[in-house]
Structure 1
């Protein structure tokens, strides 16, 4: 009969420890996508690796010059301790001052950086830590940024065996480092994306990002207005102009071999016009597990409000009467029904400045009143007002 190998208790312990560490690594990377779970992750680390009465852990950014601290996550800290540490002891105590000398990735035991006797004489110990029975720290240097360092700190009483804790942290440290850097990158991307979304929603026109089949990947808050006004259809999350000639122009652009731009007037089902700018860009792509994800290939913007007088008409009015661009914009706005007060508020200029422009318009067009000006513009050849 074959002899079964005998598994020793040491091998069992090692296997169990690796199982615990693998579970913790999973929690660490889960916290990248859910930062609110870092506190719970720290609690699981202390629960799995720490000796008795080592129940607190925190991650913080800290600087010695100037002294300051910012807690990223914390578990097991008494109420008010973060605030006291930040206001009184950040960057000035012997632990943080000597901890900063070590390179990133180091697992540091405070007993190796300051003697117990020396530490017991510090005000930091006597007035802050001693009531909690804490005189030792095991920490990990995670990162540095602009004079600050990011560290995972686990404090507790010194009369406990911390070898299991330090051994586990040496394995977890690179994963925590990587997770924190990924979190920073995601946060930066989310801020950038948030700013882009806010800017797009504040724009006075609709913005669409499309793939090569004209499927809508993103659109700002004004997009729906153009569907309601009959310029576009959004059936099945696919973009289409209701005006056949406009749709053909967009399809031709999408099928083109290289980045290019196009400007034209789209027409609604009711016959209103709207300026369009469309651009074919180099197709966006990103590597992902199992392949490549493709993104936008086209960006399309429409007007600034459904049914507005097109930009092309402003240019035509300016050329016909020799108006400046500012005068032409005001003339067309008045023809569209805006008041002087409305125009001044929209353009964030004074009413006197608008009246000054109006005098120039009257002089160049021969009109003597706003009503006469509107009538004059309506009689222009090809005017949409007539």
Structure 2
């Protein structure tokens, strides 16, 4: 039995990062306990909602019906809620055969799926969120026994720990997803590099900027300056930010190209977040800005954010950079009247009544 428990525990730990292994681990638990089906539920008892549902039953409609109609009237839940983390409930010890024969949950939900007796395990409590795993036997099977309970109690310590690790990994993945989505949406160019200038992250704005300038580029996965002296200076700034020469410190560098002048700001980004391991090296955050546009805003980004046409976006950026409508007309090779029409359209689309308001709107989009 010890080897069986160890094999199941190993599969559950594999399931911390692998949905299929988690499913297989719970299925292995059910098989060891003589159960035909399992149901892993995450419930916010304060909100009264099922946050996650994973079941071996291959009937999405039945699972949806349970979550929407039966979960919050399930008489097994009040019993399970009184359990402590890592404890077991056998339903036949709480409900008589007569009760089961008249219960909506047992008659209208479990019976149509060929299920009856339940063993319930509370595997995690985190504030108002509680996680349970229910193992159900087929209707023609006997109820769970004391031997089954003892086996479940042997499985529970690893099940509880694996559930906690899985929950933490999922929360971290969600936070990372939100963070990356926010960085991807920024109009500013943002990169994360290690001490050797290897790029770990590059948001879409930075990708567009690197593709449109010759002074700074991505070469074989690393950030590279065309000018050798500029490259050496960038390497020094990044090394300082990564703490190679003492505590991490920031640096600013101007980079001149044939078509545009860039400003690079290098900031320390130490690996001190919740998921960081001791062996992880600190990194540097590199912000690349074009002083000719506020906050490094691109024309395309302004178009998307404010709903402007390309010409209107270019005009708005020039005005925010201190240029005039006449200068825009000259640069674009259009008449002053056409430029004024672009300005009026841009102000209408952004609900600005004065040119100064439009300039202020563009400046409000610059990086803090």
| Residue 154 (structure 2) pairs with residue 171 (structure 1) | yes
Give yes or no for contact 1:43–1:76 (8 Å, CA) kept in 2.
Answer: no
Give yes or no for contact 2:293–2:321 (8 Å, CA) kept in 1.
Answer: no
Structure (1 or 2) with the larger CA radius of gyration: 1
Structure 2 residue runs of 5 or longer lacking an equivalent are 241-245, 296-317, 360-368
Match of 2:77 among 80, 96, 111: 96
Give yes or no for contact 1:32–1:179 (8 Å, CA) kept in 2.
Answer: yes
Residue 274 of structure 1 is matched in structure 2 by 261
Residue 180 of structure 2 is matched in structure 1 by 197
Matches within 5 A, 1:359-374: none
Residue 265 of structure 1 is matched in structure 2 by 254
Residue 283 of structure 1 is matched in structure 2 by 270
Give yes or no for contact 2:37–2:57 (8 Å, CA) kept in 1.
Answer: yes
Identify if the C-alpha distance between structure 1 residues 39 and 343 changes in structure 2 by more than 3 Å, giving closer, same or farther: farther
Identify if the C-alpha distance between structure 1 residues 357 and 75 changes in structure 2 by more than 3 Å, giving closer, same or farther: closer
| Residue 230 (structure 2) pairs with residue 249 (structure 1) | no
Residue 187 of structure 1 is matched in structure 2 by 170
> Greater CA deviation, 281-290 or 216-225?
281-290
Q: Distance in 2 between matches of 1:204 and 1:22?
A: 51
Count of aligned pairs: 321
Matches within 5 A, 1:107-256: 107-130=88-111, 134-156=115-137, 157=139, 159-160=142-143, 162-228=145-211, 229-256=213-240
Q: Distance in 2 between matches of 1:139 and 1:179?
A: 17
Q: Distance in 2 between matches of 1:219 and 1:125?
A: 54
What secondary structure sits across from 1:149 in the alignment?
strand
What secondary structure sits across from 1:277 in the alignment?
strand
Give yes or no for contact 1:309–1:336 (8 Å, CA) kept in 2.
Answer: no
Q: Distance in 1 between matches of 2:40 and 2:294?
A: 55
RMSD over equivalenced CA pairs, Å: 3.8
- Per the TM alignment, residue 118 of structure 1 is displaced from its structure 2 partner at its CA by 4.0
- Per the TM alignment, residue 192 of structure 1 is displaced from its structure 2 partner at its CA by 2.2
Instruction: Provide TM-score, normalisation by structure 2.
Output: 0.72
Q: Distance in 1 between matches of 2:263 and 2:358?
A: 28
Q: Distance in 2 between matches of 1:346 and 1:178?
A: 58
Identify if the C-alpha distance between structure 1 residues 264 and 348 changes in structure 2 by more than 3 Å, giving closer, same or farther: farther
Give yes or no for contact 1:201–1:221 (8 Å, CA) kept in 2.
Answer: yes
Match of 1:42 among 1, 4, 26: 26
Give yes or no for contact 1:259–1:279 (8 Å, CA) kept in 2.
Answer: no
| Residue 50 (structure 2) pairs with residue 69 (structure 1) | yes
Structure 1 residue runs of 5 or longer lacking an equivalent are 1-16, 313-324, 359-386
Identify if the C-alpha distance between structure 1 residues 356 and 283 changes in structure 2 by more than 3 Å, giving closer, same or farther: closer
> Greater CA deviation, 278-287 or 184-193?
278-287
Give yes or no for contact 1:285–1:293 (8 Å, CA) kept in 2.
Answer: no
> Greater CA deviation, 209-218 or 61-70?
61-70
Match of 2:7 among 3, 20, 23: 23
Give yes or no for contact 1:70–1:86 (8 Å, CA) kept in 2.
Answer: no
